[in-house]
């Protein structure tokens, strides 16, 4: 299978220019992104850094969001996080709650120093697992004036407690850590890092709906791309270790900047946004639930993703 549009899962808007860019994060890892610029912009414009979903690359959902927002007058940077896609990092397909939060701030570093962009008008969009990272970054980086999370996962919570918190006990965590650390020993001995595998293929008939939902995006022409982890061989198996031990969103109640959290009402993951929103404070926070929508509807279904609402949110708060 090949991506539908020469490495991308979507067609670029005719009013947008796309260019490859490179920048480094605070740990010295080179990040690679696609910068989407409106063709007819004048003067200094607002910018948005976009990343996610967890296990996807910039040629998928984040690029689609960036392309759409650029067609509406924003500069938009869709980037691959550290260790993923075209971005650097010697060990491939590994994740970190710290480094991936830092990646958003590195994107802000880059955008803040581009001539066409107003450094005081920078926001972020985080999709799926990178929704949690974007919200975490908003709690750290005061330069981020507004944050949108879409179909958000808290990856530290799901790794430490299981789906729907069904494995939220010390014994379950111990057994999981025991298995992951045994994998570390095996990886060191072999000199390679075992992969967990991407989205299940073929999908068993009795699989939960959300597994079928992921398959429908990552394993079909709708969302498949060659670099995508979830479309191919998946994450490094031991990636979960740091997520189990280092929870994000510990200071989310102290986020002063504006936040719009968007989730499908029927998504299996909706509880992540509901619970994270309950921890926010201030009258510049909003939870928007999309009736009837499931998790991956907000990856690429333009008739479902509330882009008009996202645009008005950034117009209001990137001032």
Kindly report the number of other CB atoms within 10 A of residue 175's CB atom: 11
How much is the pLDDT for 42?
86
CA distances from 21 to 36, 94, 152 (A): 10, 22, 26
pLDDT (tens, 9 = 90+) of the chain, 319 residues, equals: 899 999 999 999 999 999 999 999 999 999 999 999 999 888 999 999 999 999 999 999 999 999 999 999 999 999 999 999 999 999 999 999 999 999 999 999 999 999 999 999 999 999 999 999 999 999 999 999 999 999 999 999 999 999 999 999 999 999 999 999 999 999 999 999 999 999 999 999 899 999 999 999 999 999 999 999 999 999 999 999 999 999 999 999 999 999 999 999 999 999 999 999 999 999 999 999 999 999 999 999 999 999 999 999 999 999 8
How much is the pLDDT for 82?
98
Order of strands, edge to edge, in the sheet holding 285-290?
16-24, 30-38, 75-79, 45-51, 117-127, 146-150, 258-264, 285-290
**Whether the bond into 202 is cis, omega within 30 of 0:** yes
- Measured in whole angstroms, the distance separating CA 180 from the mean position of its chain's CA atoms is 24
pTM of the model: 0.97
- List beta partners, residue 145: none
DSSP-assigned letters across all residues of the chain: ---TBTTBSSPPPTTEEEEEEEEE-TTSPEEEEEEEEETT--SSEEEEEEE--TT--TTSHHHHHHHHHHHTT-EEEEEPPTTSTTS--SS-S---HHHHHHHHHHHHHHHHT-TTEEEEEEEEEEETHHHHHHHHHHTT-TT--EEEEES---HHHHHHH-GGGTT-SHHHHHHHHHHHHHHHHHHHHHTS--B--SS-SSPPTTS-HHHHHHHHHHTSTTT--TT-TTTTT--BGGGHHHHHHS-S-TTGGG--SEEEEEEETT-TTHHHHHHHHHT--STTEEEEEETT--TTHHHH-TTTS-HHHHHHHHHHH--
Going by DSSP bridges, is the β-strand pair 30-38/45-51 parallel, antiparallel, or unpaired? Answer: unpaired
How much is the pLDDT for 173?
97
How much is the pLDDT for 319?
81
Question: Is 279 in contact with 248 (CB distance < 8 Å)?
Answer: no
């Amino acid at each position: 299978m090949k991506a539908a549009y020469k490495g991308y899962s979507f067609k670029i808007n005719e009013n947008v220019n796309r260019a490859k860019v490179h920048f480094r994060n605070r740990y010295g890892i080179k990040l690679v992104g696609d910068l989407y610029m409106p063709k007819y912009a004048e003067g200094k414009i607002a910018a948005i850094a976009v990343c996610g979903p967890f296990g996807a690359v910039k040629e998928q959902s984040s690029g689609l969001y960036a392309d759409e927002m650029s067609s509406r007058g924003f500069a938009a940077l869709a980037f691959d996080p550290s260790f993923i896609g075209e971005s650097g990092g010697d060990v491939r397909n590994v994740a970190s709650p710290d480094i991936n939060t830092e990646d958003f701030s590195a994107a802000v570093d880059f955008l803040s120093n581009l001539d066409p962009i107003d450094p005081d008008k920078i926001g972020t969009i985080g999709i799926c697992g990178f929704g949690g990272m974007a919200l975490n970054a908003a709690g750290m980086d005061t330069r981020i004036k507004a944050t949108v999370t879409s179909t958000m996962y808290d990856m530290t919570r799901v790794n430490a407690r299981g789906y729907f918190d069904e494995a939220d006990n010390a014994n379950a965590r111990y057994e999981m850590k025991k298995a992951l650390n045994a994998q570390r020993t095996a990886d060191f001995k072999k000199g390679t890092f075992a992969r967990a595998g991407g989205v299940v293929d073929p999908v068993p008939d009795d699989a939960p709906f959300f597994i079928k939902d992921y398959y429908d995006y990552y394993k079909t022409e709708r969302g498949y791309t060659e670099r995508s982890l979830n479309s191919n061989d998946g994450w490094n198996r031991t990636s979960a270790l740091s997520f189990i031990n280092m929870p994000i969103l510990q200071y989310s109640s102290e986020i002063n900047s504006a936040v719009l959290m968007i989730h499908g009402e029927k998504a299996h993951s909706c509880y992540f946004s509901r619970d994270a929103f309950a921890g926010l404070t201030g009258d510049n926070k909003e939870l928007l639930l999309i009736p009837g929508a499931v998790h991956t509807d907000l990856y690429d279904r333009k008739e479902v993703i509330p882009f008009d609402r996202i645009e008005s949110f950034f117009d209001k708060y990137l001032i």
